[in-house]
Amino acid sequence: MKQHPVIELKKITRSFTKGGGFLGGPGQRVDVLRNVTLSINSGEVLCLVGESGCGKTTTGKIIAGLLPPSAGQILYSGQELSTMDKVEFSQYRRSVQLIHQDPYAAPNPTHTIYSILSAPMFRHGLVRTRRDAVRRVADLMETVDLTPIGDFIEKYPHQLSGGQRQRVVIARALILQPRLIVADEPVSMLDVSIRLSVISLLRRLQKEMQVAFLFITHDLAMAKHFGIGGRLAVMYIGEVVETGTTEQIINQPMHPYTQALLKAIPEPDPELTRAKEPINLRSLDIPDLADLPPGCTFHPRCPAYLGSRCESTTPRLLTQRDGRQIACLLYEGGKVEAIGRSVL
């Protein structure tokens, strides 16, 4: 029997209205996502990378059911969300959990860790007595390495460090045994010294529980670390421009934007960083979403710019011989032999 991906996005567009002013004018339509097509299989890790404001968080919110798309289809286990009844939709919402970026804002500051973790258990009928709840909360705290349990269970979030709070947020995301976790920049607000331990915890949980992950980050180095063995998708102002296995993209990026992103990662050895050739972007300015360039939206910055063709033709996300997908005219028109060529 065919195994459906946990989640599929098909040609998702999300628009917002910008402005409109104090007098309530019509405002201007801004498409923050355009034709985004992605899928995540059971137990798979997909890292979504790109510069701030490229639409990664909006994609995560749409996948978690917190934001409806303006157009396109979302399928959970092969079933389109719009065809689900109330019970099916609630099952989907339980199966997809979100870990927010900001551990300082996420847990309710007026509740103890016990209350924060036990409330959803009572609400969803997972426990009936306080005794059961204490036991399950303790199990969860142990799972996320929030130990010794007695030191934390009656504390309030403000009494914890950022890393400890993020462990509470992770524990809360695990309560309903999700099939997919959307982790939106889960360590970007933590001290550098504790980022690695939280990332290692997430990786361990992913492997032990075989839960799928959408790991959203602006930091390709972090994606490289978290996404090994999984897949990676690169976004540029509202569109997916390259997807492939993490190894393919890290070792041999093909889209000029992905190549530029990878060149910008500093090496641990400062000598290697100094020896790197500079990225010859045509412009450092990111286009305004409300006034996107025609054709390929990367053309005003692209170091591999092909001339007027890039300004008049919108590249399609095409599957290449090695299974990766690229949206760039360099690889269209049967030019699959272009695989392996580096344009920087």
Enter the tokens of residue 68: 């409806």
Among 14, 34, 299, 324, binds ligand SF4 (CB under 6 A): 299
> Quick check: 261 binds ligand SF4 (CB under 6 A)?
no
Q: Does 109 sit behind a cis peptide bond, omega within 30 degrees of 0 on the bond before it?
A: no
Nearer to ligand SF4, 208 or 291 (CB): 291
Query: Distance (Å, rounded) from C-alpha 69 to C-alpha 25?
Result: 23
CB of 236 to ligand SF4, least distance (A): 9
Query: Distance (Å, rounded) from C-alpha 184 to C-alpha 64?
Result: 11
Only one of the segments 83-91, 98-106, 271-279, 325-333 lies at the binding site for ligand SF4 (rule: CB under 6 A); that segment is 325-333
| Residue from 306, 283, 308, 280 nearest 294 by CA | 308
Could you tell me which residues come within 8 angstroms of residue 198 by beta carbon, excluding any fewer than 6 positions away? 163, 166, 167, 170, 186, 187, 190
* Total residue count of the chain as it appears in this document: 344
> Quick check: 315 binds ligand SF4 (CB under 6 A)?
yes
Among 162, 286, 305, 338, binds ligand SF4 (CB under 6 A): 305
Among 306, 317, 318, 338, binds ligand SF4 (CB under 6 A): 306
Nearer to ligand SF4, 34 or 299 (CB): 299
| Residue from 107, 99, 100, 96 nearest 64 by CA | 96
Nearer to ligand SF4, 153 or 249 (CB): 249
Among 256, 258, 324, 325, binds ligand SF4 (CB under 6 A): 256
CB of 245 to ligand SF4, least distance (A): 21
Only one of the segments 44-52, 177-185, 223-231, 291-299 lies at the binding site for ligand SF4 (rule: CB under 6 A); that segment is 291-299
Q: What is the largest CA-CA distance in the chain?
A: 70
E-only strand ranges, the chain? 7-18, 28-40, 45-49, 71-76, 79-80, 96-99, 180-184, 212-217, 231-236, 239-245, 318-319, 325-326
Only one of the segments 24-32, 67-75, 122-130, 303-311 lies at the binding site for ligand SF4 (rule: CB under 6 A); that segment is 303-311
Residues that bind ligand SF4 (CB under 6 A): 256, 296, 298-299, 302, 304-306, 310, 315, 328-330
